Amino acid sequence: MRAFLVVVTLIVMVLAAPRMAAQKVELSIDASKSGAKIDRNLFGQFAEHLGHGIYDGIWVGSDSTIPNTRGIRNDVVAALKAIHVPNVRWPGGCFADEYHWRDGIGPQRVVRLNPNWGGVIEPNTFGTHEFMDFIDQIGSEAYVSVNLGSGSPHEASDWLEYMTAAQATTLEKERAANGHPAPYKVAWIGLGNESWDCGGNMTPEYYLDRMKVFSRFVRNYNPAQMEKDQMLKIAVGPGGGEQRWTDWTETVMKAYQQHTWSWDINGLSMHSYTVDWNHKLASVGFGETEYAQVLKSTLEMDALIKKHSAIMDKYDPQKKVALVVDEWGGWYAPLPGSNPGFLVQQNSMRDAILAALNINIFARHADRVRGANIAQMINVLQAMILTDHEKMVLTPTYYVYKMYVPFQDSTFVPVTFDAGSYKYGDFTLPRVDALAAKSQDGKLWVEITNVDPNQAAEVELNLTGINAKSASGETLTALKVDSINTFDAPNTVVPKPVSARAQAGKITLKLEPKSVTVISLQQ
């Protein structure tokens, strides 16, 4: 009897054990259908004067032993070139609303404190010319946030004249004397930053009045930006989904609907971090609970975009004003031993999945969301790159951005699938996510995220409108949900090649648990 019970128990245990066989997922894509353009600016970056985001991360100075070009690190430039950064938002963040551009030009820089971020010395050695040089070296464009908090419209308009004037004004001559006779291109300007909080704790009405004045007087004089490539003006928008944020969006967009010739905006910013402000989670050494918790929470981005898009649709049905998610990403507890004001964290396989899920959300809203800047580019929050003096390491998030390069300025192609669900404890999430698009050269690209950290996914592509014979690309996965790249082990989370051939007209791919995969289809 005892032996019988043991056998029965064993059978029950085997049946109840999680089935580790790959989950089948069918993706249907009709390549002849298309949606909105997936703007390359969804892949923008954010570089604030914060911790080692600029100093050490980008700027080492021309007399450094670290290989550099005019003070800017060569290793960082090479890495960023490879991910085709479309724009870099600078100099902040909260820093922008206390930044005075004159401190950062000319031979004599003004040394100040950085009260927002650790109270450290800000030497202003990295200023307008150094930023523009950096942008040029990585082949990107400038998204300059002007100081609407502690600065004046006069100061901001002088800055724009300094950067963009081509005629022989006093400011143009000063720029030339400082080494740059040709006008700079300023692709975007931000009219303030989080003006509802660190940018001056303004009411939406007060911000609106101030923003109109900045919009009117902060002009771009670059002749090359008069007809095409006009500078886009981005107003401060919401920082969440609560009433104070919906009121903010209502106020700005209602005014936009009635705006006169004398002011205009092209975008409304939105900030949304994946964070528990009351208890910041660790960026390393976590388990499946925190993996599921963070990814569940990051998916709220979709509802937030829908909420604010609905308000924008009321006042701007033609979608002239873009929603620009110019601060987003995972925000965790500072690494032990680091300056808490420097927002130093590691970047794991969880962050790679988090990045892919958010990019896919942005792309699905590409008709309205035409810009996004992950926070932040180097050494701060969900960074692409970590540096320590001469050492540099590329994070899992960096590799996601690299794999998504073909999606920049591609055309959305609808993809239908039953996502199924991944459950862990109290958390239930879609098991898979997917995005399809046609790049400008006509190639069909598909991204598939397998959120489930335990089970592989067997993906069958049902393709119409294309006679695909094979698929190839890259997949990013790791042993553990908290696997990271370090200076000593930089290749723990790196993409590997994947490929499959069509059989009986179908392409089937087996995707590892917790993976991000990007493939193109060959005919």
Catalytic residue numbers?
Answer: 194, 327
Would you give the binding string for ligand AHR spanning residues 154-193, x where CB under 6 A is met? ---------------------------------------x
The whole-angstrom separation of Cα 54 and Cα 161 is 25
Shortest Cβ 89–ligand AHR spacing (Å): 10
CB nearer to ligand AHR: pick between 235 and 436: 235
Shortest Cβ 271–ligand AHR spacing (Å): 6
* Residue among 391, 346, 326, 375 nearest 57 (CA): 391
CB nearer to ligand AHR: pick between 91 and 183: 91
Shortest Cβ 414–ligand AHR spacing (Å): 34
Measured CA to CA in angstroms, residue 444 lies from 27, 306, 413 at distances of: 14, 27, 9
The whole-angstrom separation of Cα 71 and Cα 133 is 10
10: Cβ–Cβ under 8 A, 6 or more apart, which residues?
none
The CA-based angle 74-53-215, given to 5 degrees, is 105
Of 88-96, 334-342, 350-358, 472-480, which part binds ligand AHR (CB under 6 A)?
Answer: 88-96
Shortest Cβ 497–ligand AHR spacing (Å): 35
Size of the site for ligand AHR (CB under 6 A): 11
CB nearer to ligand AHR: pick between 271 and 514: 271
Of 7-15, 91-99, 363-371, 462-470, which part binds ligand AHR (CB under 6 A)?
Answer: 91-99
92 binding ligand AHR? (CB under 6 A): yes
Say if residues 343 and 381 touch (Cβ distance below 8 Å). yes
Helices (H), 218-317: 243-257, 288-298, 300-315
CB nearer to ligand AHR: pick between 57 and 93: 93
* Residue among 101, 185, 87 nearest 141 (CA): 87
The CA-based angle 280-281-287, given to 5 degrees, is 170
Whose CB is nearest to ligand AHR? 93
17: Cβ–Cβ under 8 A, 6 or more apart, which residues?
none
User: Between residue 288 and residue 327, which ones bind ligand AHR under the rule CB under 6 A?
Assistant: 327
48 binding ligand AHR? (CB under 6 A): yes
Among 98, 161, 172, 194, binds ligand AHR (CB under 6 A): 194
CB nearer to ligand AHR: pick between 48 and 433: 48
Among 375, 415, 444, 468, binds ligand AHR (CB under 6 A): 375
Contacts with ligand AHR by CB under 6 A lie at 48, 92-94, 193-194, 198, 327, 375-376, 381
